[in-house]
Amino acid sequence: MKLSRRLDPITPSPTLALNAKAKALAAQGVDIVGFAAGEPDFDTPDFIKQAAVKALEQGFTKYTATAGIPELRKAISEKLSKENGLSFTPEQILVSCGAKHSLYNVFQALLNEGDEVIIFSPYWVSYPDMVQLAMGTPVIVPTREEDGFAPDPALLRKALSPKTKAVILNSPSNPTGAVLSTDALKAVAEVLRGHDCLIVTDDIYERLLYTDAPFQNLVKVAPDLLPRTVVVNGFSKAFSMTGWRLGYAAGPSELISGMKMIQDQSTSNATSIGQKAAVAALTGPREPIEAMVKEFRARRDLFVEGLNAIEGIRCRKPDGAFYVFPSIQGLFGKSYKGAKLHGSMQVSEILLNDFRVAAVPGQPFGAEGFIRMSFATSRETIEKGLSRLRDFVATLTA
Ligand SMILES: Cc1ncc(COP(=O)(O)O)c(C=O)c1O
């Protein structure tokens, strides 16, 4: 069968392949230490579940407006105003089946063939593919670990072209956990002021922060850019609701209505009962989320300290999200079973096959020389994984 050429640039994800293999091994009873997950290991807080149960019991089980129930769009509008200081009317908000869906809609509504989208690396694996599925061209702008993975304004300026339609920012970041400082955001804003393109700020890890500094995104520090910014956020990470598939976008009316038209003809509304649960999530108590963040912070500290104690591995302390992103470049050139180590895919495969540790290679994130490990898992699992990593490094020869 001849499939659409839209699929030509899309490659099967090596991350998913690794995850699938780790899961298959675990299903066979192999004792895998899983660091590959991109989701909190906590259950959805009970008060959120109860809101969905109540909605079910009340028969709230029919189609809703594509853009979302008015109650939820209002709650999102109020959240953006109160917590982020951003003014978006409910009509400027579209609720979708996950932040991934929101981002997909953005690019489908915005891009024509050949339009460019700037993505800073290391990046979340889905950004380039989503841009390409919309016939756009991803333009990758590298950032450096030494700069805390903050964009280099000069490189950004160089990458902007008349074809640049959008720039994506993601802080706290998947995969690095890096949080952009006020100065870093201001520097990016200064460059973007000179170029009329959409700013996509993916704030999905907003609540998973381990410093005392409040969350901020680009428009918070540069409110003049609000008219051409779309804020993408969701419920998966902050409220441990990955399986519920709920996200949203807030942005310029024209863009949001274009996205809504695409959603009208694809998924229609996000689930009715999920939307009721989302209202509870936004308006309910903060304690369950604070407890989760506190535990994540303790796990992060444990993980980073353990990694930095291993010769050849170096790990920055991430200020947000739930990933450590250590450099393994110090292991390259050493030998394992007679083969020289040279890449993150190779190291991830050895770790999974011989040491039963599932860690995601940095290469698909545009960051060769790193591996991503999630601390959305218990402290015991982290200790066990660290011990296996030590065993691996101990077997290496010069
Ligand atoms: C950076 C980033 N953005 C967006 C998403 C999408 O989240 P969801 O579709 O579950 O809301 C993810 C999920 O892993 C992510 O890491």
**Percent of the chain surpassing pLDDT 90:** 92
Q: Is 174 in the pocket of ligand 1 (CB under 6 A)?
A: yes
Residue by residue, DSSP assigns 17-65 as: HHHHHHHHHHHTT---EE----S-SSPPPHHHHHHHHHHHHTT--S---
Q: Which of 180, 187, 196, 183 is nearest to 154 (CA)?
A: 187
pLDDT attached to residue 9: 87
Whole-angstrom distance, CA of residue 394 vs CA of residue 384: 15
How many other C-beta atoms are found inside a 10 Å radius of the C-beta of residue 383? 14
pLDDT attached to residue 335: 97
pLDDT attached to residue 11: 78
Distance 15 CA to ligand 1 centre (A): 15
pLDDT attached to residue 17: 79
Instruction: Give nearest CA residue, ligand 1 atom 14.
Output: 38
**Percent of the chain surpassing pLDDT 70:** 100
pLDDT attached to residue 346: 95
> What average pLDDT is seen over the chain?
96
Mutate to test the pocket of ligand 1, among 236, 239, 244, 248 (most ligand atoms within 8 A of CB): 236
pLDDT attached to residue 374: 95
Whole-angstrom distance, CA of residue 245 vs CA of residue 255: 22
Place of tokens 């040491």: 355
Q: Is 136 in the pocket of ligand 1 (CB under 6 A)?
A: no
Distance 309 CA to ligand 1 centre (A): 31
Whole-angstrom distance, CA of residue 206 vs CA of residue 173: 10
Report whether the peptide linkage leading into residue 175 is cis, meaning its omega lies within 30 degrees of zero. Answer: yes
pTM given for the model: 0.96
The single-letter DSSP state of residue 245 is: -
Cα dist. 187→151, 190, 193 in Å?
9, 5, 10
Q: Where are the beta strands (DSSP E) in the chain?
A: 33-34, 93-96, 116-121, 137-142, 164-169, 198-202, 229-234, 247-250, 323-324, 335-336, 339-340, 357-358, 360-361, 371-374
pLDDT tens sequence across 39-79: 888 999 999 999 999 999 999 999 999 999 999 999 999 99
pLDDT tens sequence across 210-230: 998 999 999 999 999 999 999
Report which residue type is found at 167.
V
Q: Ligand 1: which atom is nearest the Cα of residue 99?
A: 11
Q: Is 242 in the pocket of ligand 1 (CB under 6 A)?
A: yes
Q: Is 234 in the pocket of ligand 1 (CB under 6 A)?
A: yes
SS3 content of the chain, % helix, strand, coil (to 5): 45, 15, 40
Q: Is 102 in the pocket of ligand 1 (CB under 6 A)?
A: no
Whole-angstrom distance, CA of residue 280 vs CA of residue 284: 5
Q: Is the pLDDT of residue 199 over 90?
A: yes
pLDDT attached to residue 18: 79
Distance 232 CA to ligand 1 centre (A): 10
pLDDT attached to residue 12: 75
Q: Is 126 in the pocket of ligand 1 (CB under 6 A)?
A: no
Q: Is 138 in the pocket of ligand 1 (CB under 6 A)?
A: no
Q: Is 236 in the pocket of ligand 1 (CB under 6 A)?
A: yes
Q: Is the pLDDT of residue 193 over 80?
A: yes
Mutate to test the pocket of ligand 1, among 16, 96, 203, 204 (most ligand atoms within 8 A of CB): 204
Whole-angstrom distance, CA of residue 24 vs CA of residue 34: 12
Distance 340 CA to ligand 1 centre (A): 35
Distance 204 CA to ligand 1 centre (A): 6
pLDDT tens sequence across 88-136: 999 999 999 999 999 999 999 999 999 999 999 999 999 999 999 999 9
Whole-angstrom distance, CA of residue 137 vs CA of residue 111: 9
pLDDT attached to residue 154: 98
Q: Ligand 1: which atom is nearest the Cα of residue 173?
A: 1
Q: Which of 200, 273, 219 is nearest to 80 (CA)?
A: 219
Q: Is 375 in the pocket of ligand 1 (CB under 6 A)?
A: no
- pLDDT band (50, 70, 90) for residue 304: very high
Whole-angstrom distance, CA of residue 358 vs CA of residue 183: 36
